[in-house]
Amino acid sequence: MSTAFTTRTLEITTGTSETVADLTADCAAFLREAADGRDGLLNIFVPHATAGIAVLETGAGSDEDLLAALHDLLPADNRWRHRHGSPGHGRDHVLPALVPPHATLPVVSGRMALGTWQSVCLVDTNVDNANRQVRLSFLG
Q: Walk across the sheet containing 102-108 and list its strands.
A: 5-13, 131-139, 40-45, 102-108, 111-112
Q: Which of 47, 48, 58 is nearest to 23 (CA)?
A: 58
Q: Place 42 in a pLDDT band, splitting at 50, 70 and 90.
A: very high
Supply the mean pLDDT for the chain.
94
pLDDT tens-digit profile of 25-35? 999 999 999 99
pLDDT at 2: 58
The confidence score (pLDDT) of residue 1 equals 46
| Proportion of the chain above pLDDT 90, given as a percent | 82
Higher pLDDT among residues 137 and 82, named by residue: 137
Q: How open is the CA angle 115-131-34, to the nearest 5 degrees?
A: 45
In the DSSP assignment, the letter for residue 134 is E
Mean pLDDT for 63-76 is 95
pLDDT for residue 88 is more than 90: no
Domain containing 30 — which CATH number?
2.60.120.460
Range of the domain at 115: 5-139
pLDDT digit string, tens, across residues 56-69: 999 899 999 999 99
Average pLDDT score over residue span 41-62: 96
pLDDT, average across residues 75-85 = 87
CA distances from 119 to 25, 54, 55 (A): 9, 8, 5
Number of domain units in the chain: 1
Residues 84-88: contacts with CB within 8 Å, 24+ apart?
A: 85/126, 85/128, 86/127, 86/128
